[in-house]
Protein backbone atom coordinates (compact mmCIF):
# COMPACT_ATOMS: atom_id res chain seq x y z
CA UNK A 1 0.00 0.00 0.00
CA UNK A 2 1.01 3.59 -0.50
CA UNK A 3 -0.65 6.90 0.36
CA UNK A 4 -0.16 10.63 0.06
CA UNK A 5 -2.06 13.65 1.31
CA UNK A 6 -4.40 14.79 -1.47
CA UNK A 7 -2.54 16.94 -3.98
CA UNK A 8 0.98 16.11 -2.71
CA UNK A 9 3.44 14.63 -5.21
CA UNK A 10 5.32 12.17 -2.97
CA UNK A 11 3.92 8.73 -2.08
CA UNK A 12 4.57 7.13 1.33
CA UNK A 13 4.69 3.35 1.67
CA UNK A 14 2.59 1.71 4.38
CA UNK A 15 1.58 -1.72 5.59
CA UNK A 16 -2.13 -2.57 5.66
CA UNK A 17 -3.71 -4.23 8.66
CA UNK A 18 -7.23 -4.50 7.25
CA UNK A 19 -8.94 -3.52 3.98
CA UNK A 20 -12.66 -3.45 3.18
CA UNK A 21 -14.95 -1.77 0.67
CA UNK A 22 -15.66 1.00 3.18
CA UNK A 23 -12.12 1.76 4.37
CA UNK A 24 -8.72 0.57 5.49
CA UNK A 25 -6.54 0.26 8.57
CA UNK A 26 -2.82 0.76 8.07
CA UNK A 27 0.42 1.79 9.74
CA UNK A 28 1.28 5.35 8.67
CA UNK A 29 4.80 6.74 8.61
CA UNK A 30 3.74 10.13 9.99
CA UNK A 31 1.01 11.79 12.06
CA UNK A 32 -2.06 12.54 9.93
CA UNK A 33 -4.86 14.98 10.68
CA UNK A 34 -8.29 13.49 11.38
CA UNK A 35 -10.55 14.72 8.58
CA UNK A 36 -7.63 15.01 6.16
CA UNK A 37 -7.98 13.57 2.66
CA UNK A 38 -5.58 10.96 1.31
CA UNK A 39 -4.99 9.40 -2.06
CA UNK A 40 -4.46 5.68 -1.51
CA UNK A 41 -3.34 2.78 -3.70
CA UNK A 42 -3.55 -0.76 -2.33
CA UNK A 43 -2.05 -3.73 -4.16
CA UNK A 44 -4.52 -6.58 -4.58
CA UNK A 45 -2.20 -8.72 -6.72
CA UNK A 46 -1.66 -11.40 -4.05
CA UNK A 47 -5.45 -11.92 -3.75
CA UNK A 48 -6.26 -11.86 -7.48
CA UNK A 49 -5.04 -13.77 -10.51
CA UNK A 50 -3.66 -10.68 -12.30
CA UNK A 51 -1.83 -7.54 -11.13
CA UNK A 52 -4.49 -5.17 -9.76
CA UNK A 53 -4.82 -2.38 -7.25
CA UNK A 54 -7.47 -0.31 -5.51
CA UNK A 55 -7.22 3.44 -6.11
CA UNK A 56 -9.13 5.48 -3.51
CA UNK A 57 -9.73 8.92 -2.14
CA UNK A 58 -10.15 8.47 1.59
CA UNK A 59 -10.63 10.49 4.77
CA UNK A 60 -8.66 9.91 7.97
CA UNK A 61 -11.18 9.03 10.69
CA UNK A 62 -8.82 7.93 13.47
CA UNK A 63 -5.13 7.65 14.28
CA UNK A 64 -3.41 6.16 17.31
CA UNK A 65 -1.12 8.11 19.60
CA UNK A 66 1.99 9.80 18.28
CA UNK A 67 4.16 6.88 19.34
CA UNK A 68 5.09 4.24 16.79
CA UNK A 69 3.36 2.49 15.16
CA UNK A 70 0.80 5.05 13.96
CA UNK A 71 -2.26 2.86 13.37
CA UNK A 72 -4.50 4.86 11.04
CA UNK A 73 -8.12 4.27 10.00
CA UNK A 74 -9.56 5.78 6.83
CA UNK A 75 -13.00 5.76 5.25
CA UNK A 76 -13.08 5.54 1.46
CA UNK A 77 -15.00 8.40 -0.12
CA UNK A 78 -14.74 6.70 -3.51
CA UNK A 79 -12.60 3.96 -5.02
CA UNK A 80 -12.14 1.81 -8.10
CA UNK A 81 -10.03 -1.12 -9.26
CA UNK A 82 -7.37 -0.70 -11.95
CA UNK A 83 -5.09 -3.12 -13.74
CA UNK A 84 -1.43 -3.19 -12.77
CA UNK A 85 0.35 -3.37 -9.46
CA UNK A 86 2.00 -0.54 -7.52
CA UNK A 87 5.02 0.94 -9.28
- Domain assignments of the chain as residue spans, ordered by start: 2-81
Q: What is the mean pLDDT of the chain?
A: 90
Q: What is the pTM of this model?
A: 0.86
Tell me how far CA of residue 86 lies from CA of 6, 19, 44, 81, in angstroms.
18, 16, 9, 12
Range scoring the smallest mean pLDDT among 11-15, 64-68, 79-83: 64-68
Query: Which pLDDT does position 48 carry in this prediction?
Result: 66
Which residue in 1, 68, 6, 69 sits closest to 33, CA to CA?
6
pLDDT for the residue 49: 73
- pLDDT above 90: residue 46: no
C-alpha to C-alpha distances, 6 to 35, 45, 52, 56, 60, nearest whole angstrom: 12, 24, 22, 11, 11
The whole-angstrom separation of Cα 67 and Cα 86 is: 28
Amino acid sequence: MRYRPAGHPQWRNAKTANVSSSGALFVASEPLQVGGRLEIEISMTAALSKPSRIVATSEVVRQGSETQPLITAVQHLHYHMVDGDLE
